[in-house]
Amino acid sequence: MYCPKCGEKNNENVKYCSKCGASLTEGVKETNNKKEGLGTASLVIGIISLILSFTCIILFPIFITIPLSIIGLILGIVNKVKKGKKISGIILNVFAFIISIICFIISIVLIGALVDEASNNIDNDEFKKSLNQFYNELDRSTSDNYVAGKYNCKSFDGSGEKGDYIVRFELNNDNTFMWGKYNETDKNYVKGTYTFTDLDKTNGDRSYAYYNVKLDGDEYYNEGIKQEEDYNSEYEFGITAVATKKQGILMNTKTYNMYYCYEEK
């Protein structure tokens, strides 16, 4: 043992320095007290960490108690005094660490369940409606001919479509059209050219865009017989998009006959 005052080497069991007479036990007591203090700190931190870990507040354990319990563990491990406080501190901090991890996992699972439940509670119809509106506006802004499409149409009285398809309506990108009786277009049809105008108006929720469509027929057949009379008609076509397919309400501006039309893709 070396004297803390003069540095003289002395035997282990000597209480006083053989050279200067200074006490050799005071330094040992001071060192032991410091080491004992580390054990006390580890114990206190372990108690605090354990209490906090049981709160299981969302994300709280992972950011507070885990770092705190790690510090407590380090203090307990470096404490060389093998007494109850050291062991108790290490045990408490280990428990606090484990419980905090468990609480964090439980919190994440609960958050995921709440998010899934909230997602399931969203009105699917409203979501689809918003998606269709977005597609409608996007396609309308990027297409030179938004009305173009091959449509199958049912009679529409304003309250909802009814019955079977009665009209086949084709608006081609080259501004030619075909209007005919559904499934009988080989003998009941009109072909010609069309023009359309964006009316720059929408319905209340902006899901439908409205166009004026004028048909000018130059090939007109009824029951397989070519008609000599001119064919001209004009429609207002309100179009929306559903799952990337257009559909809409077609109204004759003179007769007010209405059709519910679905694009075929």
The predicted structure's pLDDT at residue 154: 94
The token pair at 43 is: 């114990």
Short-list 177, 213, 180, 208, CA closest to 195: 213
Cα 126 to Cα 88: distance, rounded to the nearest angstrom: 59
The answer for residues whose C-beta is within 8 angstroms of residue 130's C-beta and 6 or more apart is: none
pTM, entire model: 0.49
**For 4-18, 194-208, 213-227, which range has the lowest pLDDT when averaged over its residues?**
4-18
CA dihedral 16, 17, 20, 21 (to 10 degrees): 10
- The position carrying tokens 């802004």 is 141
The answer for residues whose C-beta is within 8 angstroms of residue 157's C-beta and 6 or more apart is: 258
The token pair at 193 is: 């050219």
pLDDT (tens digit per residue) in 212-250: 999 999 999 999 999 998 899 999 999 988 777 889 999
Q: How confident is the model at residue 182 (pLDDT cuts 50, 70, 90)?
A: very high
Cα 122 to Cα 113: distance, rounded to the nearest angstrom: 15
Query: For the chain, what are the domain ranges?
Result: 25-121, 128-263
